Amino acid sequence: MPKKFVKEFNVIENSALNATNFLIKVQSDTELPEIKPGQFVNIEIKEAEEIFLRRPFSVFEVDYENDVISMIVKILGRGSRKLTEIKAGSKLSMVYPLGKTFTYPSADDKILLIGGGSGVAPMLFLAKESGLPVENVDILLGARSKEDHINVDDYKKYASLHYASEDGSLGEKGFVTQHSVFTDNLNSYTKIYACGPDGMMRAIAKEAKAANVFCEVSLENLMACGFGVCLCCIEPTNKGNQCVCTDGPVFNINDLKW
Amino acid sequence: MVDLKVKLHDIEFKNPVTLASGTCGFARETAEFFEPGLLGGYFLKGTTLKNRDGNNYPRMAETPSGMLNAVGLQNKGIDYFIENIYPDIVDYDTQLIINVNGSTVEDYIALTEKVNELDKINAIELNISCPNVKEGGMAFGVSCPGAEMVTREVRKVYDKTMIVKLSPNVTDITEIAKAVEGQGADAVSLVNTFLGMAIDAEKRTPLLSTITGGLSGPAIKPIALRMVWQVANAVKIPVVGIGGIMNAADAIEFMLAGASVVQVGTAIFKDPMIPVKIVEGIEDYLKRHNMQSVNELIGGLQV
Ligand SMILES: Cc1cc2nc3c(=O)[nH]c(=O)nc-3n(C[C@H](O)[C@H](O)[C@H](O)COP(=O)(O)OP(=O)(O)OC[C@H]3O[C@@H](n4cnc5c(N)ncnc54)[C@H](O)[C@@H]3O)c2cc1C
Ligand SMILES: Cc1cc2nc3c(=O)[nH]c(=O)nc-3n(C[C@H](O)[C@H](O)[C@H](O)COP(=O)(O)O)c2cc1C
Ligand code: FES
């Protein structure tokens, strides 16, 4: 029985969350396999001659009842821009489900989830899946300004929400690692999870290491295949060069050469 | 019923569709999508005597209709393969071929001797054409004496089917093909990637850690097709066609140009199911053209 699939999905929604982030929902006409936070899909960008390879995007939500997968797509370059122009009713070819999930928290864990840039989706998905009471889950989102933040008020039922913005227009001013959750009580958490720009994740890893708190990050290395055959997406680790697409994208910071 | 079976020297492929080295891992990865027995064979990831970490990230750059890679033969070495991978894949009902790489002739020999012990491996592909390693690799494949030497020395220790993989980064590929034929190669496979380069103009930096890398994908297809046609006309041994094959029509073109077997490479990154679709597409073509056997396609170009 296959574990991974290539399929055309029906696009059922594409809506702007803000100027650069879009929520894309696609529906399968067959039953979905189990998909966990951190796992991703590799999407074909159609009608774009200059775009040859697929583009990887984390799964944001899965609705097994209706066989719907959602992604949050942030415009970065040509491919992501083209993807955000897709219309409901059209088809989207995806390879799925790819990659591995996070180490799930146990019942007595207190967790901090940090998302920035294109890395918000897996953090929100994990918050929902964690199964922890809301007081044990904190989400910290970082962005340049209020306009760059997406509205995640729906997640108040799963977590307390904290914001950092570089210009101070939403939440605390500065980078996520300058936020009070870092400066005041990082040790109150038993597990930290992060996804976002490389620089952000490295800074978080440094703090988590210093505080000796368990920390997993989800990497977004450039990919060609997404299923472990090309060896283009590698990350140096203590176990040698590993594939972000199959050994990751989630890594424990202690395994990375950061 | 059309007959899809083809022979390459003395080994049989259930159909002419195989996967190219470095684009199908060790076959297990594709088995998560489809039954490996559906394909004629797998040219497994380039293997060396000892562990190789490969080149630094970034190793990949997208280009118009293709991509550059600079993986640099990352693999855990032949002993790891024999102990940890071979047992998992040995029962796949398809031809498994090891892509052998060395920095020195001695490396090629030592590696081949180990592969020779593996009962279910009926052929090797001698890679003398990797553009992404500093020593060995393409250095052997771009001169007749270098190509001849590796082929001759490996031939002495290997009795099964020996396929030599040629580099397109040469003035006249038929000269190299004839040179390895003269030293006992049972078949040639071509082409490996074309040496290329990509630059980020905004940042004024190369896109690959190695600055240059190997170009693959549909961008190279017309050149690869021309080379396969030239080589097929220049040598008597069979030819394995490689380069930008994206669909059944491309595969058929390579066979018409003279290839007995084709390797699908970069296309699988776009569509992991494409190899299976290509087998089906070839079968359809044969039916449409009232052909009984896929062998009728080989060298069937009408000029
Ligand atoms: C496992 C994984 C999960 C991801 N999840 C999401 C997600 O949920 N939402 C989301 O919006 N994005 C996500 N991304 C990132 C997304 O894949 C890239 O933004 C997208 O591929 C960029 O394509 P493009 O054609 O728009 O950019 P291009 O035009 O190809 O590139 C524009 C510029 O960005 C650089 N670039 C492109 N991709 C990356 C990358 N992955 N890392 C660093 N630099 C890059 C290029 O080198 C170039 O300079 C994820 C990536 C991975 C690997
Ligand atoms: C990511 C990548 C890795 C490769 N690794 C190898 C390798 O280890 N050994 C080898 O002989 N060829 C290797 N190749 C070359 C391919 O086998 C093939 O010759 C080439 O890509 C042209 O075919 P294509 O255009 O269908 O991809 C590699 C190609 C790519 C794209
Ligand atoms: S993207 Fe090909 S191995 Fe990870």
SS (H, E, C) B115-133: HHCCCCEEEEEEECCCCCC
* Domain CATH for A76: 2.40.30.10
Shared domain for A126 and A63, answered yes or no, is no
Tokens 């889950």 appear where? A137
Residue A235 counted as domain residue: no
Strand partners of residue A25: A13, A70
Q: Which pLDDT tens digit goes with each residue over A191-216?
A: 999 999 999 999 999 999 999 999 99
Compute the distance between CA of residue A181 and CA of residue A140 in angstroms, rounded to an integer.
8
The pLDDT assigned to B135 comes to 67
Residue at A195: amino acid letter: C
Question: End of a domain among A77, A98, A119?
Answer: A98
Task: Find the ligand nearest to A225 CA.
Answer: 3
Residue at B295: amino acid letter: N
Contacts of B17 (CB under 8 A, 6+ apart): B39, B40, B251, B262, B264, B275, B278, B279, B282
CA distance A223 to chain B (A): 8
* Pocket lining: B225 vs ligand 2, CB cutoff 6 Å: no
- Output DSSP code: residue B203: T
Compute the distance between CA of residue B53 and CA of residue B66 in angstroms, rounded to an integer.
24
DSSP, residue by residue, A81-131? HHHTTPPTTSEEEEEEEES----PPPTT--EEEEEEGGGHHHHHHHHHHS-
Angstrom distances, CA of residue B207 to CA of A45, B197, B204: 21, 8, 9
Q: Do the Cβ atoms of A6 and B273 come within 8 Å?
A: yes
For ligand 3, the distance from its centroid to the CA atom of residue B288, given in whole angstroms, is 37
What's the ipTM?
0.95
Shared domain for A126 and A181, answered yes or no, is yes
The pLDDT assigned to B133 comes to 75
Shared domain for A157 and A196, answered yes or no, is yes
* pTM, two decimal places: 0.96
A189 close to A215: Cβ distance less than 8 angstroms: no
Residue boundaries of the structural domains of chain B: 6-55+70-194+215-297
Shared domain for A16 and A44, answered yes or no, is yes
Print the domain residue range for A213.
111-218
Shared domain for A214 and A116, answered yes or no, is yes
Residue A193 counted as domain residue: yes
Per-residue pLDDT of chain B (303 residues; tens, 9 = 90+): 899 999 999 999 999 999 999 999 999 999 999 999 999 999 999 999 999 999 999 999 999 999 999 999 999 999 999 999 999 999 999 999 999 999 999 999 999 999 999 999 999 999 998 777 776 667 788 889 899 999 999 999 999 999 999 999 999 999 999 999 999 999 999 999 999 999 999 999 999 999 999 999 999 999 999 999 999 999 999 999 999 999 999 999 999 999 999 999 999 999 999 999 999 999 999 999 999 999 999 999 999
Structurally, how many domains does chain A consist of?
Answer: 2
* Pocket lining: A224 vs ligand 3, CB cutoff 6 Å: yes
Tokens 């891992």 appear where? B25
Question: End of a domain among A37, A70, A98?
Answer: A98
* Domain CATH for A127: 3.40.50.80
Shared domain for A169 and A209, answered yes or no, is yes
Shared domain for A41 and A139, answered yes or no, is no
Residue A41 counted as domain residue: yes
Tell me: cis bond preceding A56? Omega within 30 of 0 counts. Answer: no
Shared domain for A91 and A130, answered yes or no, is no
Mean pLDDT across the stretch A10-24? 96
B130, B216, B225, B263, best to mutate for ligand 2 pocket (most atoms within 8 Å of CB)? B216
A37 close to A125: Cβ distance less than 8 angstroms: yes
Q: Do the Cβ atoms of A232 and B272 come within 8 Å?
A: no
By Cβ distance, the residue of A5, A222, A246 closest to B60 is A222
* Pocket lining: A243 vs ligand 3, CB cutoff 6 Å: yes
**Hey, what CATH topology would domain B6-55+70-194+215-297 get?**
TIM Barrel (3.20.20)
